[in-house]
Chain A
Amino acid sequence: MATSEPQDCPWQERIRQVAASGIPAWNGPGRVLRVKLGYNPNSSSVGSVVTVLMWTTVFSSVVLNAMAAVVVSEWKRQSAGALPSNPDDAP
């Protein structure tokens, strides 16, 4: 498959924005297993973003790490500081 990253694909741009936004990376245990990008407004079948076909393995790891950071950031905002500063202290 393609071995070069697209210069300006929408997801790459958004993920880079996330990476540059200062959201701390997830340093706790565990990992993101899978990411399904986008909404699916089509009301007859499941749509899949295929931009991934142009991603390298390296960039795929960047996306998974960035999405982990997004999850932590949104979870922190929602739980208003309830997130343990040390993941070992998690209930």
Chain B
Amino acid sequence: MKWRFEEFGAIIATDEPPALVWIDQDMARGLGFGDSPLWNRQRGDLSAPTEVHVMTTERCPAGCPSCYVGSTMQSPEPTEAELRHTFQKLANAGVFHVALGGGESLLRDDLFRLAAWARELGMVPNLTTSGIGMNEEKAEQCRVFGQVNVSLDGLGDVYQASRGYDGAGKALAAIRMLSQAGVSVGINLVLQRHTFEALDETVAAAIEAGASEVEMLRFKPAGRAHATYLAMRLDAGQRQRLLPEVLRLMQQWPKVNIKVDCSLVPFLCAGDPDPALLETFGVVGCEAGHMLAAVRADGRATACSFLEQDVGGVDGLVDGWETSEELLRWRRYHLTAAEPCASCPYRAVCKGGCRAVVTAYSSSPFEPDPECPRVVAWRRGAAHP
């Protein structure tokens, strides 16, 4: 069991069920953890990210027009030694989970060796893949991961419209192989205007193939997706419908885990869920440079996978965690956010929406998320009081 001290007490990682558990100082002391100098601090920040996204390669043959990285087969790829250094630094900092992705990570011959190394260091490696390159042998080896998610935005024409080729068959085959190998497998489903309307058939096919989790992701204007973002993003009505759709899917598929990503939290909050419940059970909005950080294939380290500003590679990320102006800007944006975020009851959960999306509309990422239904309503009211 991995754990680390924090200002409030400690965070503990459990495996069954998989979770990160925040406990207070009294409980940490009661368990026999001892005291920590961190308990005398009141910065309000975590001592390190809880999870880091590590791009094991930027290479990928798919060429999706919506790729947030802009991957090609000529894109950069770190060496095994560089990735081992990254993992060592992150483990030393107390990071619990690493989410490996790309590019297509299955292109690497050393992927499973690296994942095993992450395990040896006490971190749980997880994987995102398109399914390209998956076979039964690799599916067996994927048991080293805590969970594998396969990208599946739709079926047939829907997949084609999203990714520029019909890869749904490969993705579903990968899900089947992983499920049959006993790997915990889910899907990553990017919500775009057309994929949102095909949720039922996509989710049904994924579950039939063996997926036990559906994670919905907001489409973001990064990489090649800059060019297609405005045409493919969710429309205003769809953003309002997210929470009802999520609740409906949970009722329809009660044994499947439904998740949303951090950038969708503003849409979720439009349905007025209990903010205290969201906070207690880790439903989080923008955690860039706080719970989350990313290490890119070219060695840059960023506050989140969609941001470009390097904080000095993995060494700068870990060694400068408390002092980096760049990290602090992302981490603490919500504390000084403008209206309507400043007085929003969800500010502590949502943290001002997705900074990556804001960049599609503004030269500064430090503004309220313009697609948030509450922001839209507030601006409409301000314009027409």
Contacts and interface: CB of A to CB of B under 8 A. Distances in A.
B1 A74 contact: yes
B148 interface: yes
B9 A30 contact: yes
Nearest to A43: B101
A32 B243 CA distance: 27
Interface residues of A, number: 61
B281 A29 contact: no
A20 B176 CA distance: 32
Interface string B42-78: 0000000011011100000000000010000000000
Contact of B282 (A34, A72, A90): A34
Nearest to A70: B14
A84 B165 CA distance: 59
A70 B17 contact: yes
A40 B256 CA distance: 15
A71 B257 contact: no
Interface stretch (B21-29, B194-202, B227-235): B21-29
Nearest to B50: A36
Candidate in B101, B272, B280 with the most chain A CB atoms within 10 angstroms:
B280
B263 A31 contact: no
Interface stretch (B84-92, B120-128, B364-372): B120-128
Given A30-B25, A46-B292, A47-B259, A52 B283 contact: yes
Interface in B220-257: 243, 246-247, 250-251, 254-257
B221 to A, nearest CB: 13
17 contacts: A36-B19, A36-B282, A38-B259, A41-B145, A41-B188, A42-B215, A45-B305, A47-B260, A48-B259, A48-B265, A49-B281, A49-B283, A57-B277, A63-B281, A71-B12, A74-B14, A83-B31
Given A38-B147, A52-B278, 13 more contacts: A1-B272, A30-B26, A30-B29, A33-B8, A38-B259, A41-B147, A42-B188, A44-B101, A44-B261, A72-B31, A75-B31, A79-B32, A91-B34
